[in-house]
Amino acid sequence: MKILVIEDEPDLLAAIKTSLEKEAYIVESAGDFASASEKLGIYTYDCILLDIMLPGGSGLDLLASLKEADKSENVIIVSAKDSLDDKINGLGLGADDYLTKPFHLAELTARVKAVLRRKQLGGKNSVDVNNVSLLVEERQVMVDDVPMSLNRKEFDLLHYFLLNKSRLITRESLAEHVWGDNIDQADNFDFIYYQIKNLRKKLQAAAAEVEIQAVYGVGYKLITP
């Protein structure tokens, strides 16, 4: 899987690159409009992370030319502009998703995987880890083909964990993912503890071959024993 990260901030670019490489993707990068344009002209990527404000031009122009070439469906816009206009323009130009800076790496991984999953031939509908299979559209989790009963938040959490298999997910990231963008009380982690406790129990009861581990009290990690 080849991913192009178009981002002008070198530190952020490095962090994104490191994180994505942990998922065993081949990551290439472009720091400005011209080099991005060049790379997009020559190579094909499975997923493109696109910043809108770039030195030398607007990311939206790159997106427009990708749309013309019918290659815009695997683009995730990553922008500091939390502006509705940009969101609408970007998605209107065929981008798959819109991620506002700052974001958690786990969130980015989840979004990238969602794009790649949709891109796969036949449009694979499930996220599979060992004997656990999460059906995205049906919002259903199967363990050894036996359906598991999860509430809405538990499902969202498990989905997030499965997409970030073996990666640390911080509490903040979990809270934000579960509650959405404008939660003011994301430091209220009791609920997250509680949900994860329940989720663990349910996974254990279903004999799922995945386990959610606490890490330092910072966050959690889904591991496969």
Any contact of residue 24 with another protein (CB under 8 A)? no
Q: Which is nearer to another protein, 119 or 221 (CB)?
A: 221
Distance CA 5, CA 36 (A): 9
- State phi, psi for 222 to the nearest 5 degrees: -95, 120
Any contact of residue 152 with another protein (CB under 8 A)? yes
Beta strand 126-129 with 57-58 is unpaired
Q: Which is nearer to another protein, 120 or 166 (CB)?
A: 166
CB 25 within 8 A of CB 19: no
Any contact of residue 82 with another protein (CB under 8 A)? yes
CB 20 within 8 A of CB 67: no
Any contact of residue 70 with another protein (CB under 8 A)? no
CB 63 within 8 A of CB 77: yes
Distance CA 51, CA 69 (A): 19
Of 44, 151, 213, 224, the residue at the interface with another protein (CB under 8 A) is 151
Any contact of residue 205 with another protein (CB under 8 A)? no
Any contact of residue 187 with another protein (CB under 8 A)? yes
The CA angle 36-39-41, to the nearest 5 degrees, is 105
Q: How far is the CB of 68 from another protein (least distance, A)?
A: 27
Question: Hey, is 15 helix, strand or coil?
Answer: helix
Q: Which is nearer to another protein, 122 or 217 (CB)?
A: 217
CB 115 within 8 A of CB 74: yes
Of 68, 73, 101, 214, the residue at the interface with another protein (CB under 8 A) is 101
Stretch that binds another protein, among 64-72, 121-129, 136-144, 185-193 (CB under 8 A): 185-193
- Residue numbers at the binding site for another protein (CB under 8 A): 9, 11-12, 15-16, 18-19, 22, 53, 80-84, 100-106, 151-153, 167-168, 170, 172-173, 179-188, 190-191, 194-195, 215-219
